[in-house]
Amino acid sequence: MKVKILLFFIIAAMTLMFAQPLFALDAYYVQSIKAKVMSASSFKSAILGEVGKGYKFESSGRQGSWIKVTFNAKEGYVSTLLLSTHPPMEKAGLIKAEGADINQGVRRRASTSTSAAAARGLTSDDRMRTSREEEIDYKALEKVEAFVVNPDEVARFMTGGKP
């Protein structure tokens, strides 16, 4: 009886060991707007096709800066720059370092940001006053963040339009 129990363990373990390599492939998701699938791990090679953001590839390995994938039953390569092992994420929310907002943010979502913890009790003005060695310019940062560029403008720019 005891030997049977042990044999069960051995068989279970071995099944796990040998079954997985047959089915386990890493999954990669396209993060960029578009991604070209090349026929070899080189920019010189022919393009097999193009896929969009969120497309899932089954990969059998990595070759330099290219991920080897299966595309339309053929072997293809996609640049690692365009892929990630998780699906594309939504744009993350910004936590603005404003006095009143940050205190409320602390109570509501205190655990989601280390900066919230650091800012607990301190507004941005306080932080500016307390920093002695380095200068900090939040106003300039806000200007940088407020600068909006339309995605259509970017698209036009890429096809040769004037800025």
Partner 1 sequence: MAIFRRSRMKAAGSIILFVAFMVLGQKAFADQFHYNNLLIGDRASGMGGAYTAVSDDATGLYYNPAGIVYSSGRNLSASVNAYYYLTKKYDGVIGGHGWERKSSALLPNFFGIVQPLGKIKFGFSYAVPDSINEDQDQTFNNLSSTITSYVINFNNEDNTYNFGPSVAMEITKSLSAGLTLYVHQRKAQLILNQLVNTTTGYEWSNKYFEINESGVRPVLGFMWSPVDKLSLGLSLSKTVVLQSTATDQVTESSTISTPSGLPLINTNLWRKDASSTDKRVYPLQVSAGAAYFATNNLLLTTDVVYFTRVADAVFGDRVAVVNVALGTEYFIDRNWAVRGGFFTNYASTPDITAGVPAVAEEHIDLYGGTMSISHFTRNTSVTLGGSITTGTGLSQISGTSTQDASAFGWTLALSSTYSY
Partner 2 sequence: MKRLIPACVVLFLGAFAALPVSYVYGEEEWRQRPSSGETVGADDISAEIAFGREVSARILGRYKLYDNPDVTKYVNLVGRSLVLNTNRPELDFRFAVLDSSELNAYAAPGGYVFITKGALALVKDESELAGVLAHEISHITGKHVVKELNIKGTEDSAVSGFARLVGGSSESARLAFSQAVDKALDMLFKDGYKREDETEADRNAVLLCALTGYDPSGLGRYLERIGAIKGKQTEVIDRTHPSFSARLAWIKETIAGEGVDTAGLKTNKERLTEAKKNLK
Positions touching partner 2 (CB under 8 A) are 3, 10, 14, 17-18, 21, 31-34, 42-45, 53, 60-65, 79-86, 88-95, 97, 111-118, 120, 134-138, 140-141, 143-145, 147, 149, 151, 153-154, 157-158, 162-163
Q: What does the alpha-carbon distance between residue 94 and residue 114 come to, in Å, rounded to a whole number? A: 13
Yes or no: say if 60 and 70 are a contact pair by the CB < 8 Å rule: yes
Q: Which two tokens stand for residue 32?
A: 């960029």
If one asks whether residue 121 binds partner 1 (CB under 8 A), the answer comes out as no
Yes or no: say if 80 and 65 are a contact pair by the CB < 8 Å rule: yes
Nearer to partner 1, 26 or 75 (CB): 26
E-assigned strand segments in the chain? 26-30, 34-38, 47-52, 56-63, 66-71, 74-79, 83-84
Q: 2 touches which of partner 2, partner 1, none (CB within 5 to 8 A by kind)?
A: partner 1
Q: How far is CA 128 from CA 43, 98, 123, 132, in A?
A: 49, 12, 9, 8
Nearer to partner 1, 59 or 124 (CB): 59
Nearer to partner 1, 11 or 136 (CB): 11
Yes or no: say if 122 and 138 are a contact pair by the CB < 8 Å rule: no
Q: How many residues are there in the chain?
A: 163
* Residues 75-104 interacting with partner 1 (rule: CB under 8 A): 85
**Least distance CB 135 / partner 2 (angstroms):** 3
* Residues 3-22 interacting with partner 1 (rule: CB under 8 A): 3, 5-6, 8-10, 12-13, 16-17, 20-21
Neighbours of 123 (CB within 10 A): 16
Nearer to partner 1, 19 or 155 (CB): 19
**Site residues (CB under 8 A) for partner 1?**
2-3, 5-6, 8-10, 12-13, 16-17, 20-21, 24-26, 85
